[in-house]
């Protein structure tokens, strides 16, 4: 019995070190990328936040350092793709579209057009579309896969992510594993 407790405690401390180390490494590398105002770019912030969330989810889901590292890599990629293209107003509209798609009765997309501050720039279109039914989990949460699409500056990026909502909560959280 002590061997099991020791093994679990060892995994927990080593996975925390792995997650923190991976996130710190990504943050140091990504920290070199800045926006026009000298702060971190959307892409940098998306990469770092995605890596942290993905590493945590992967580590908890698979109870291994490999799960944490895999989750961090997947989260970093997803965060990078979203953060690369979208500014704060566009991400807010995409989050709103995701909320609406999560509770939609049909698989119809919810789209928003975000006008750019520069009159010469084309508007950004963000869309969230449910691509599967909601599913109840044993912990009381409800999950649903949502296809997220953003078209900005003539480039379209599409990603499918499963979002979960805890029982009694209105907050959606992405699940990448």
Reported confidence tier of residue 71, pLDDT bands at 50, 70, 90: low
Q: Where are the domains of the chain?
A: 2-85, 88-175
Give every CB contact of residue 39 below 8 A, 6+ residues apart in sequence.
Answer: none
Q: Strands (DSSP E) along the chain, which ranges? A: 110-114, 124-130, 135-136, 142-152, 155-165, 172-175
pLDDT (tens digit per residue) in 82-135: 555 578 888 889 999 999 999 998 889 999 999 887 777 889 999 999 999 999
Whole-number Cα distances in Å, 65 to 29, 76, 133, 154: 21, 16, 31, 39
Q: Report whether pLDDT(154) > 70.
A: yes
What does the block give as tokens for 40? 């971190």
Specify the residue for token string 């997947």. Answer: 74
């Amino acid at each position: 019995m002590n061997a099991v407790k020791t093994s679990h405690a060892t995994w927990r401390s080593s996975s925390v070190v792995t997650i923190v180390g991976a996130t710190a490494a990504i943050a140091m590398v990504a920290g070199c990328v800045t926006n026009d105002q000298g702060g971190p770019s959307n892409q940098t912030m998306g990469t770092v936040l995605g890596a942290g969330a993905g590493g945590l989810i992967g580590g908890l889901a698979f109870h291994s350092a490999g799960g944490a590292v895999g989750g961090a890599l997947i989260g970093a990629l997803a965060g990078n793709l979203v953060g690369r293209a979208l500014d704060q107003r566009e991400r807010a509209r995409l989050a709103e579209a995701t909320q609406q798609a999560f509770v939609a009765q049909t698989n119809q997309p919810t789209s928003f057009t975000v006008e750019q501050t520069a009159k010469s720039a084309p508007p950004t279109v963000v869309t969230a579309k449910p691509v599967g039914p909601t599913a109840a989990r044993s912990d009381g949460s409800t999950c649903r896969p949502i296809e997220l699409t953003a078209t900005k500056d003539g480039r379209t990026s599409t990603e499918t992510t499963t979002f979960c909502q805890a029982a009694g909560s209105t907050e959606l959280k992405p699940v990448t594993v």
